[in-house]
Amino acid sequence: PKLGLSAKNYGRAVYECLRGGLDFTKDDENVNSQPFMRWRDRFLFVAEAIFKSQAETGEIKGHYLNATAGTSEEMLKRAACARELGAPIVMHDYLTGGFTANTSLAHYCRDNGLLLHIHRAMHAVIDRQRNHGMHFRVLAKALRLSGGDHIHAGTVVGKLEGEREVTLGFVDLLRDDYIEKDRSRGIYFTQDWVSLPGVLPVASGGIHVWHMPALTEIFGDDSILQFGGGTLGHPWGNAPGAVANRVALEACVQARNEGRDLAREGNEVIREA
């Protein structure tokens, strides 16, 4: 959910989505610590939602708690609170927070068994400016060096569209240990990451169930798909929206594994599901 809910109502929305079948929910980058929902209140209600949905489904659940703050000390305090509550993952806006703060948080998360989700808020100011900007491929490589477990990487489909081959180029730069030079995909020299851990790409932004066949085909298994409005915007409510996404994804993966062509038969697969 974006802005406007109280902490209690926010926790309820998180519970409905997790109970409906999603693995994770997340704070929007704008959800931080506003007067109508202070961060500590949100963390408490969200933790309750996580444990309640886990108990009812028997599945591991989580919520990306936004630890981004005005100072590095406050950021680490929020991450420590999330850890004490038993949350499995926190989130950070690495461009607004800065690389030093991000690396500090990445080290804290590694030492304390937390996952770190990276949001790329502010990237468009840098990478959409063709005259003196910096391509997101470079920002993504910088993030892999700084530290994080997954990062938003565009969608090819949806509202944050990117050119397919170029997007897949920096998706591979995030995930793989060794990438051959391929100018058609925007990879201008061979990159050997040696032992540096990879980062999972996150497809997020204006995607919904009808995009599922394309997303399954483009991103494959080692990826994360986030459906915000695609879940909360369901006419029957939050939980049915989560169910729809889960059913669509499982149907597409099964169809792909059976050898069906998702590019051609994708809509039919969704309708059957």
Domain CATH code at residue 64? 3.20.20.110
φ, ψ at 25 (rounded to 5°):
-120, 175
The reply to whether 169 falls in a domain is yes
How many independent structural domains does the chain possess?
1
* Close Cβ partners of 10 (under 8 Å, ≥ 6 residues apart): 1, 31, 37, 42, 45, 46
The reply to whether 42 falls in a domain is yes
The reply to whether 167 falls in a domain is yes
- The pTM (predicted TM-score) of the whole model is 0.91
d(CA 62, CA 130): 38
The reply to whether 135 falls in a domain is yes
> CA 144, 145, 149 angle in degrees (round to 5)?
35
Give pLDDT tens digits for 4-47: 899 999 999 999 999 999 999 999 999 999 999 999 999 999 99
d(CA 182, CA 174): 15
Written in H, E and C, the secondary structure of 94-121 is: HHHHCHHHHHHHHHHHHHCCCEEEEECC
The reply to whether 265 falls in a domain is no
The reply to whether 209 falls in a domain is no
The reply to whether 258 falls in a domain is no
Handedness of CA 155, 227, 222, 69 (dihedral sign): positive
Q: Does residue 73 or residue 164 have the better pLDDT?
A: 73
Give pLDDT tens digits for 64-113: 999 999 999 999 999 999 999 999 999 999 999 999 999 999 999 999 99
Per-residue confidence (pLDDT) for residue 161, from 0 to 100: 55
Per-residue confidence (pLDDT) for residue 162, from 0 to 100: 61
Give the single-character DSSP code of 198: P
Backbone Cα Rg of the chain:
19
Identify the domain containing residue 67 by its residue range.
Answer: 7-198
